[in-house]
Amino acid sequence: MYKEILTDRLLIRPITVGDANFIYSLVNSNGWLKYIGDRNIRNNQDAENYIQKILENKNYYYNVFEIKETKEPIGIITFLHRDNHEFPDIGFALLPKYEKKGYTFEASKEYLNEIIKSKICKKIIGITVPENENSIKLLRRLGLEFESKVKVENEELSIYSMTIL
């Protein structure tokens, strides 16, 4: 779901190829590499190509959230209809220097509210590695509950879910 959403401090908007520099920084941050994985993005051209592939996939929605006052992009909210899951998943990532300020919760909560209002799915999931305590705390705070553990390519993942219809 692509939509512009305003919160008290943030603007949530669809990703564009113009976000390449921001995406390059985000996907090479320690948290992304540790919990999400290396996307082999080594320069801005790689980041542009990565974004272009996202924009071409009708089942993937990446939304950037930026600070309203400065227009500085600081994080992303994703809504992905993956082939290997029955229900779409919500995801999020934030540049490290903005952690622990409530930005990700603020953006995720508003985006999740829009998903619920739009009635586009009956259930939403969140997927994370069991070691990612911050992600788990945020999923729980958003109202998702632990559902199961699954193995995907020799990696154990925790699935959290929320029924919304």
Residue 62 lies inside a defined structural domain of this protein: yes
Residue 61 lies inside a defined structural domain of this protein: yes
Residue 114 lies inside a defined structural domain of this protein: yes
pLDDT tens per residue, range 62-91: 999 999 999 999 999 999 999 889 999 999
Structural domain including 52 reads 5-120
Residue 60 lies inside a defined structural domain of this protein: yes
Residue 126 lies inside a defined structural domain of this protein: no
Residue 107: C-alpha distances to residues 34, 46, 58, 123, 149 (Å): 22, 26, 22, 19, 26
The number of CA neighbours under 13 Å toward the Cβ of 89 is 15
Q: Which CATH number do you get for residue 27? A: 3.40.630.30
pLDDT tens per residue, range 17-76: 999 999 999 999 999 999 999 999 999 999 999 999 999 999 999 999 999 999 999 999
pTM of the shown model? 0.93
Count of the separate structural domains present in the chain: 1
The Cα–Cα gap between 99 and 94 comes to 7
